[in-house]
Structure 1
């Protein structure tokens, strides 16, 4: 039986959003030693041309999240990507939805940062067509970071 879930915009300040982002922070801390909380501010995803989404299963339970925020007029940054279940396509569905919405917002690229040690994330994004780009913004000169980008079309 195929897994069923729906991805839709939600309030990043909701309890479900906070719970998912806390699970993400715990997971990142266990993988990288850093929760990622210092690289994220919820107000960044409440500005125009930003979006926070939650994926829910058939029972309505939150099973993943993700967000985009503007870097500039043509580039969106992917933030707070998380899926509770790693093998059933939740992450792919969230990413696909955010890429589609980025195009609708007029972005031509998506950039993101993760840690080199987080090989599952690096592989996931590379398999989705993301390529390594120069580190940007607060990630400049940080050897533990890897930045990836994708041209949208």
Structure 2
């Protein structure tokens, strides 16, 4: 999608379908669209949205999806939904939003998280979109790990 100048504005774990034979598929592309200057604000599911999608200027691009991917990586590690510790205390997205947009609220990973996963997740979750990896660099990071895993299972 990124190569075609398209953006999925609602990437979250619920929209990823695992397949034994064909890797994964992304579904629910209803709010996907072509990238333009001055994109629509607050599109997506709150806990997976990036600060620049929520911010006032709405100047975001495909790096917003990379942030959402980072959120999914934290879910895979912690086996909990984003910010569940705050939500379990009754704090709503509205109460958390300002802290989140200022970069004061960060997702965390488990203590026993694999170092490569921790590095990738935190890179994807960088507050500054310019510091996030590209989709291609994420693929370049993950492909050797997938290849190594398939060799171990052969």
- Which TM class, normalised by the smaller chain length? under 0.3
Larger radius of gyration: 2
Q: Which of the two has greater strand per residue? A: 1
Q: Which of the two has greater helix per residue? A: 2
